[in-house]
Structure 1
Amino acid sequence: MDRPTTPAIDIKRQDGTCRIALQGDWTALALADCGGARDLRSQLKSLANAPDSAEWTLAGVDRLDHIGAQLIWQAWQGKLPTHLTADEGQHRVFARIASLKTDGWKKRMVDRFNPITVLGAGILSMFMQLANGVTMLGQLAFDLLRFLRAPQRGPWREISANIYSIGYKALGITALVGFLIGIVLSYLSANQLRTFGASTFIVNILGMAVIRELGPVLAAILIAGRSGSAITAQIGVMRVTEELDAMSVMGISHGFRLIMPRVIALAVSMPLLVAWTDLLALLGGMTAARLQLDISYSYFLRQLPDAVPVANLWLGLGKGAVFGVLIALTACHFGLRIKPNTQSLGAGTTASVVTSITVVIVADAIIAILFKDVGI
């Protein structure tokens, strides 16, 4: 590769006219190798106030890239001079820079903060996302009917792969968090129950809190952060790599091949993860109760069915299935909204996790109100 020619500026003034000729290579490499690059910048800065009658010629410029063109563009104050001699390729480079800097090199004024506009935009965005969610839910219903009509043609491989990645691989983290939460809850309750001489009621508190509320919510929050973000990132990467566009061209339904398998996988995996989390949380609570209140494991297990009606168990498992469907739909919704760039991918994944957790908590509050008389 030839070594770049040193850039230079030749200024000639004759009979009241100014002729400015640029020579050499005006590229990033040439400017970096040039020991007098600072002098070139100062010369260009002094030419910023050159008269409109000045004649500029780039005939002596061998190579020109965006770095060199931007330095020249600054000397021209964001517009082409009246008298310019340049070839077609050089004109294209400057046209590209002009399209990026539409308002010259002046600093843009920042729009004033308008709370009414921000509130209105937020409300409109919320309604648009709700409309998209309802559309996705309707499409899911049609895809499920199609799947039930011809189950042999269903995406079984995708369903089983998602059950493995979402359910089996999450057993470790849910077990650890469930066990520790059981210990913490048991220790905190034991101190209060010992004060009132009601140590045996630790079974009622742990059983009801874990099986009815903490187990489903903890599992859902962990899966929203772990698997929900993964689903959004997977679909977002498919958008960035144009795989979603390729599927549309080939006539492959996004809902049938991407959304439905993940919804089914989470609806199947979440109740099992809830039961697993409940089991480990109760084990942690029994361990702490044994150490704090000297309540044996056998007594705890004998009293648990009487303290917690079985309806609470079914309610907790049902919550898990509902939470799984909501997490899958939210993650797929934000995944499909990602634009083909890395910044949108990161923002979409973050928004997916936050929204999934919020939706889970809101849904848990609604279910708690609707089923307040069940299992009590």
Structure 2
Amino acid sequence: MTNPALSSATAPSVDITTQQGQSHITLRGCWDLRHIAVTKKPLQLVKDHGHDNNCHWDLTAISKLDGSTALILWQAWGEKLPQRLNIKPEHQALFERWQQQKSLTALPQPTALARFIQNSQEQLVDTAEQLRNGVVLLGQLVLDVGYLIRTPSALPLAEISNTIYDAGVKALGITALVGFLIGIVLSYLSALQLKMFGAEIYIIDILGLSIIRELGPLLAAILVAGRSGSAMTAQIGIMRVTEELDALSAMGISHSLRLVLPKVAALTIAMPLLAVWTNAAALLGGMLSAKQSLDIGFQQFFIKLPDTIPLVNVFIGLGKSAVFGLMIALVACHFGFRIKPNTESLGNETTNSVVAAITSVIMIDAVFAILFMNVGMPS
């Protein structure tokens, strides 16, 4: 039974005639999804003769053809146009689109080695570009410092104070907690080994040197890089998305002077203070653990610590903490300015900022360890 909604003029149909041993197939009516979904027999006839290269196809009698049905015909013909085909120009464009896509997919795909080389080249170019931008950012920072020395009234004290509060004061809790727990763990593990050799008293040397010189500044820097560095990058990125950076440029306000310098100055000041705070919390945790596991009193700990740990180690820790703060702020600002005005870029560059900042901190710590290898070590 035929659908009464479809008239004979609009229903798709297929006429097959044979002339001189060659099949002539003529398509008539409306060939769109609405009509071929009702009458499936014409489409089945097309599929039955689709791979016959001797057929002559005539589509000029089609009154309507949509892109989806053109794809079905294209697939029925083996994803290629028949050699003998008559078609209207407006319908020809529908098939040309699928033919172009097939040509693109038929292009030879690069080998795994070629893709590796291409990706490596892109990574090298991106790394070189980032290094250049980092040097430019650092150079602009030096110029801003020179400008502020000549005109101290332009110093952005409010921005520096706010950043010290956000990156320093608000980080006291998490740095103290992590430092305290690390001190307990380090003291407990060291005590297990020292008991085997009867050298329990050297727990003070191990805790003092490792925490004051290395672990305290490093832990504080890693926590600040993950907490405050990501916030700085996201802040600049949001300003990019909301076009606040463009507004500052239009008003003639320097991005470097108002955004980069306050963050660099604040972290350079706050990081040594956070390192001292983290050292104190870690030493407190170590003392409590030493008291429980080795029965070493607090008074003995306080008396022996200054004698076993040279004071220069404190200055080495403070110096590297200042450099950590400088680098974290520069990396955060660098990736912040790389953010494009879309949310995907905001998330990616914030993640890259944290990874790059933590990596830079560890690399700088290794450089300090090599440079000051023979400085401040107990004799």
TM-score, with length taken from structure 1: 0.76
What is the correspondence of 1:212-231 to structure 2 with a 5 Å cutoff? 212-231=213-232
1:336–1:307 Cα change, 3 Å: same
The one-letter amino acid paired with 2:169 is Y
Q: Structure 2 regions of 5+ residues with no counterpart?
A: 1-9, 16-24, 51-55, 80-85
Opposite residue 243 of structure 1, the aligned amino acid is E
Q: Partner amino acid for 1:195?
A: M
323-332 or 366-375, larger mean C-alpha shift: 366-375
3-state SS of paired residue (1:143): helix
Q: Give the AA of the match of 1:318.
A: G
Equivalent position of 1:324 in the other structure: 325
Q: Deviations over 1:179-207 (max 9, x none)?
A: 00000110111111122121111111100
SS at match of 1:268: helix
> Which residue of 1 is the match for residue 22 of structure 2?
none
Q: CA deviation at 1:282?
A: 0.2
Give the structure 2 partner of residue 4 of structure 1: none
User: Residues 174 and 102 of structure 1: is their aligned pair in 2 closer, same or farther, counting only changes over 3 Å?
Assistant: farther
Q: CA 1:11–1:276 in structure 2 vs 1: closer, same or farther (change >3 Å)?
A: same
Partners of 2:151 and 2:370 lie apart in 1 by 38
Match of 1:368 in 2: 369
* Matches of 2:127 and 2:299, distance apart in 1: 51
State the distance in 2 between where 1:353 and 1:246 align.
27
Answer whether contact 1:167 1:269 (CA < 8 A) is retained.
yes
Q: What is the match of residue 350 of structure 1?
A: 351
Aligned equivalent of 1:191: 192
- Equivalent residue, structure 1, for 2:241: 240
| 8 Å Cα contact 2:31/2:69 also seen in 1 | no
SS in 2 for 1:252: coil
Q: Which moved more, 1:315-324 or 1:112-121?
A: 112-121
Q: Is 1:137 equivalent to 2:153 in the alignment?
A: no
Structure 1 residue 302 displacement after superposition: 1.1
1:18 and 1:183 map into 2 onto residues whose CA distance is 84
Q: Deviations over 1:68-104 (max 9, x none)?
A: 98x57856979xx974779xxxx9xx9xxx8xx9778
Map of 1:1-376 to 2, 5 A cutoff? 11=12, 54=59, 71=68, 74=71, 83=88, 106=105, 110-114=109-113, 115-376=116-377
**TM-align CA RMSD:** 3.9
Percent of counterpart pairs with the same letter?
Answer: 49
* Superposed CA offset, 1:230-270 (max 9, x none): 11122122222222222222222211111111111111111
TM-score of the two chains, using structure 2 as the length reference: 0.76
Q: For the residues of structure 1 that align with 2:104 and 2:376, how far apart are their CA atoms?
A: 69
* Alpha-carbon offset, residue 108 of structure 1: 7.5
Residue type at the aligned position of 2:203: I
CA deviation after TM superposition for structure 1 residue 364, in Å: 0.7
Tell me the residue number matched to 2:20: none
Matched-pair contact (CA < 8 Å) for 2:332–2:357: yes
The 1:18–1:136 alpha-carbon spacing in structure 2 relative to 1, beyond 3 Å, is same
Q: Distance in 1 between matches of 2:251 and 2:28?
A: 59
Residues 26 and 57 in structure 2, CA contact (< 8 A), matched pair in contact too: no
Whole-Å separation in 1 of the counterparts to 2:313 and 2:208: 9
**2:200 and 2:304 mapped to 1: Cα distance?**
13
Distance 2:149 2:221 in 1: 27
Bigger Rg over Cα: 2
Distance 1:340 1:20, change over 3 A: farther
Deviation at 1:21, TM superposition (A): 5.8
Q: Structure 2 counterpart of 1:111, which letter?
A: P
- Measured in 2, the distance between the counterparts of 1:240 and 1:216 equals 34
Report the alpha carbon displacement of residue 11 of structure 1 after superposing the two structures with TM: 4.9
Inter-CA distance 153–10: structure 2 relative to 1 (3 Å threshold): farther
